[in-house]
Structure 1
Amino acid sequence: MPIRSIQQEVEKLVNIDFLTSEISGNRVYFKVNKNFMLFNELKKIVLKTEAVGDFIQKDLMNLSRIRFSFIFGSFAADKETPQSDIDLMIIGSVGAKLLSSTIQKISEKTGREINFRLYSEEEFLEKFKQSDSFIKQVALGKKIYLIGRENEFKEFIK
């Protein structure tokens, strides 16, 4: 992409107040204007798409022995607000202390509180088969899969 095209697009973003500019010497620095009228909506769109899931997935993939991980609750059901936390289910045998510090780092990166539930495979299945209302609701509700696939999870809970 030619540099002039990029400059023109950046100028348009400055003109609508999405970006602010600051001159320092012979350089111009740009940053997002958090007071821009659509800032929260645009941020929500970015966080809603790949950003949050990617952050979480990338960091969780570094941990071993996680069979399934998925986002559930308001975020997965497209009912989140800018203040919504992220509900995360982890099924596997990862250490709670290590997982907790990893989740804390992800929370700082994304600027969202992350509430996670950790279950061993056996514990999750036992609760599901005993018709634990929370586990049933999560297992049968909308999810954003981070580790494992939907068809694998359906087989798992059969």
Structure 2
Amino acid sequence: MNVFQRLEYWGDRHHPAWLDVVRIGLGVFLFAKGIGFISDTTRLTELVSGLRIDFWPVVAVHYVAFAHIFGGFLIAFGLLTRFACLVQIPILVVAVFFVNIRQGFSYLNSELWISLLCLFLTLLFYIVGSGRMSMDDWMRRHPS
């Protein structure tokens, strides 16, 4: 049993029911954030362009928007939760350490705190998994 399998086994065994409500809330929030990004792509393009990354900003904008939409949907329903969290982690790391930190580390910078909270919760659900109130668990119990 390698480290990832032991971590996954531990996460499946230590998952309280109230954490499922938090997972659903995180998924709905990421889904709404993705809808907000896709409806206002100019704002997201400005954020990505300010990073001076050498790849096409339109690709980054669409990756972020669609990853939030589909990843948030999957996290909310508890379907492929660990994979959806893995897709979200690079986006949230860039949001915390490269985009939002430029505006200052103060209590007034709410986007930084929201990004930090989302990053923490995404890492948490990557470790502990989707829980009992999820499509993953339902599919495990009903293999046919």
By the TM > 0.5 criterion, same fold? Answer: no
TM range (shorter): under 0.3
TM-score (norm 2): 0.28
More helix by share: 2
